[in-house]
Amino acid sequence: MPVLHIRLFGLLATIWGGVLTYFYVSMRVSKYLAENFHHFILLGGIGMIILGVYSIINPQEKEPSSCNHHEDHHHNHDHSHCCDHEHDHHHTHEHKHHDHKHENEHEDHESCCDGHHAHDEGHGPGVTYLLTLVPLLIAMNYTQDRFSDAGLARQGAYEAPPVSSAPFTREDLEKNVPKNARGEFQLSLVNAYYAGGDRELHQVLADLPVEIEGRLMEEKVNNSEGKRRRLYRTFISCCAADATVAGISLDFDTTNSEIPNQSWVKASGTLTFEEHQGRTYTVVKVNSMEKAEEPYSEFLQRNR
């Protein structure tokens, strides 16, 4: 690889590493990845910066004497003028696609033994910069670190819970779920969502006083009177691309709250279950709602 190419590639590796490190340091990474991936981002970022800077500083082998070919060199061209060793010229395969250039033909190629000769089958720096940086810059320009409302819907925000057994019982609830000062169960939104799919649990949990935390969005299911909002949480395995959104309905007795969509809130009220078009949805009849602090990570993890 020519020295200039190595330096340009080194710069690109440094930029990629810088992007990773920036996402980690700015904590924006928590909007994209599960927590157990965050340290990989930092390590990968630092590693790429080291690789990039090292390549910029050392774009070529410093000791030509290290070009010590121990074994037979099977080429059909003469390297002897750039490396003081014998080649025997047995050829085991055809080199139809390229010519091994001689030292004086290499652009900026002081060392003939840089490990690659002229095997540069990859893309040049121009194409590599174009194909990697353009989508990255576009993405960084248009992202808002979250799904749009349409995107949330595609990830399942308005879907009814699957018909299955909820992952907890009433005993689990009494034992594990804390209560707030008003005596309301501080139930996870995901558990409230899945409870909708378990008919046996409906009778156990119906009319339970609960406080549920989540993010607000517009309600589009069974909301002809416009008195409802949707509360959702996103759960992931690794990254936002594998996200599933679980949503429950908040029913306000009189009018909707003034708190804007996408705010984090704690809604207190009574847990109920409602049939709509043959599916069961979880609905909380809201008594009160207040803004909540945004958690460090947007996501709940599936494997926890």
Partner 1 sequence: MSNTVEAQLQDGSFQFLAIFLEGLPFIFLGTLVSGFLGTFLPRNAFERFLPKNKTAAVLVSGLLGAIFPVCECAVVPVIRRLVRNGLPASCALAYMLAAPIFNPVTAISTYKAFNDSWTMTGSRLGLGYAIAVIVALVMARVAHSTYIKASELEHAHDHDHPRTLTAAMHNSLKDLMDVGVYFAIGVTLTALLKTTLIDPTTDFWKGLAENSFAGTPAMMFLAFILSLCSTSDAFIAANLANFREAPKLAFMVFGPMMDAKLVFLYSTVFRWKFIFGLLVALFILTGASSLFVEYSLEQWKPDPPQIPLNP
Length of the chain: 304
* Minimum CB distance to partner 1 smaller for 136 or for 206: 136
Minimum CB–partner distance for residue 68 and partner 1 (Å): 7
Minimum CB–partner distance for residue 2 and partner 1 (Å): 12
* Minimum CB distance to partner 1 smaller for 279 or for 285: 279
Minimum CB–partner distance for residue 180 and partner 1 (Å): 30
* Minimum CB distance to partner 1 smaller for 210 or for 236: 236
Return d(Cα 267, Cα 264) in angstroms, integer.
Answer: 10
Minimum CB–partner distance for residue 246 and partner 1 (Å): 10
Minimum CB–partner distance for residue 185 and partner 1 (Å): 25
* Minimum CB distance to partner 1 smaller for 1 or for 283: 1
* Minimum CB distance to partner 1 smaller for 99 or for 207: 99
Minimum CB–partner distance for residue 111 and partner 1 (Å): 9
Minimum CB–partner distance for residue 179 and partner 1 (Å): 29
* Minimum CB distance to partner 1 smaller for 39 or for 182: 39
Distances (CA, A) of 43 to 37, 145, 296, 298: 10, 22, 20, 22
Radius of gyration of the chain (CA): 30
Minimum CB–partner distance for residue 81 and partner 1 (Å): 17
* Minimum CB distance to partner 1 smaller for 131 or for 207: 131
Read off the tokens for 100.
Answer: 């091994």
* Minimum CB distance to partner 1 smaller for 120 or for 207: 120
| Three-state secondary structure of the chain | CCHHHHHHHHHHHHHHHHHHHHHHHCCHHHHCECHHHHHHHHHHHHHHHHHHHHHHHCCCCCCHHHCCCCCCCCCCCCCCCCCCCCCCCCCCCCCCCCCCCCHHHCCCCCCCCCCCCCCCCCCCHHHHHHHHHHHHHHHHHHCCCCCCHHHHHHCCCCCCCCCCCCCCCHHHHHHHCCECCCCCECCCHHHHHHHCCCHHHHHHHCCCEEEEEEEEEECCCCCCCCCEEEEEEEEECCEHHHCEEEEEEEEECCCCCCCCCCCEEEEEEEEEEEEECCEEEEEEEEEEEEECCCCCCCEEECCC
